[in-house]
Amino acid sequence: MIPLGRNREPNHAMFVKPAILLSLCLLCLATTLRGQSGRGVPQENSPSGGIVSLSPALTELAFFLGGGDRMVGRSSACDAPSQALSLPVMGDFALPSLEKILAVRPRAVVSNDLVNPAVAKALEAQGIAVELFPCRNVEEYLAMVERMGELLSCPREAQKERQRILDFLEEMKRNPPKPHRTMALIWEHPPMVAGEGTFCFELLRLAGSTMDFQGRQGYFTPGAEWLLSCPLDCLWVFHPEALESPGGLLEALKGKMRLFPQEDLLFRPGPRWTEGVRLLREGQP
């Protein structure tokens, strides 16, 4: 997982101890609430038809598919499109507020991941579905689109998005890029790069990267010897300060660094990722 911040996925390690305590509290709360909401609960207390998204990518996708009016909540990290900002905040990225969600009683909560899986059990105990979409490649993105189309009752729009992606992939095949060896530096200190099995890696491949990560999976901190020995043509960075004063190990790679203009296009598996691939191709060495 990517460390928190910069609209990226959460780093589970920093939440392990708090999550254990929170898990117990949530399960106790869910049991109590379930006991209070048995037979005889008024109809208005049953889940509504709305959806809460804890993922910026899923929130963007919901509005892109025309289902924004079915959204009843978002995470604090969901900042696009601008219409989404009017939705009430139901927690942080992959860190929902159980109290706030139970107050609006959505039909479903969607996210790419959850820091604390016990939250899902607590919500499901109240009849609220929880659906997770680990989006690591184009195939999983297409599956996510199809399912969101079902949840939002807009299957035609979902089919249009699926076809748009298939047409885009076909276009990429007809106009293959010049092969080059690139990687994305998602964190500077310590250096962390996007390896195999990540959505960013998939997009770099579509843009023509042939970089061999030698089986290194996920987001990882490379060893100095390995990183300096990589036959890199380009090292994508996402903040100007990384170019101005990289420092330490990265100083030796400064001449190969290039600034990518908008990190969301690579790190959010939403409908704008095709723009990210085009920008990668345009800026390839």
| 138-158 tens-digit pLDDT | 999 999 999 999 999 999 999
Helices and strands (DSSP H and E) totals, the chain: 11, 11
Structure tokens at 163: 């076809």
- Label residues 154-187 b or e (16+ Cβ within 10 Å = b): beebbeebbeebeebeeebeeeeeeebbbbbbbb
| 149-186 tens-digit pLDDT | 999 999 999 999 999 999 999 999 999 999 999 999 99
Q: Please check the confidence at residue 22 and state whether its pLDDT lies above 70.
A: no
**27/78 Cα distance (integer angstroms):** 27
CB-based contact 71:87 (threshold 8 Å): yes
CB-based contact 185:219 (threshold 8 Å): no
Planar angle of CA 36, 40, 46, nearest 5 degrees: 75
* H runs (alpha helix) in the chain: 16-36, 56-64, 98-104, 118-124, 138-151, 155-174, 199-206, 224-229, 240-244, 264-267, 273-282
Q: Predicted confidence band at 252 (pLDDT cuts at 50, 70, 90)?
A: confident
Q: Please check the confidence at residue 101 and state whether its pLDDT lies above 80.
A: yes
**195/239 Cα distance (integer angstroms):** 19
Q: Looking at residues 250-270, what average pLDDT do you find?
A: 92
Q: Which residue has the higher pLDDT, 217 or 242?
A: 217
pTM of the model: 0.83
Q: Predicted confidence band at 245 (pLDDT cuts at 50, 70, 90)?
A: confident
CB-based contact 124:130 (threshold 8 Å): yes
**146/156 Cα distance (integer angstroms):** 10
Q: Which residues pair with 44 in a beta bridge?
A: none
For 99: left if phi > 0, alpha if psi spans -120 to 50, otherwise beta; the answer is: alpha
* H runs (alpha helix) in 37-126: 56-64, 98-104, 118-124
Query: What sign for the dihedral angle of Cα 195, 197, 200, 204?
Result: positive
Per the omega criterion (within 30 degrees of 0), is the bond before 190 cis? yes
Q: Predicted confidence band at 76 (pLDDT cuts at 50, 70, 90)?
A: very high
**224/62 Cα distance (integer angstroms):** 41
Q: Looking at residues 203-211, what average pLDDT do you find?
A: 96
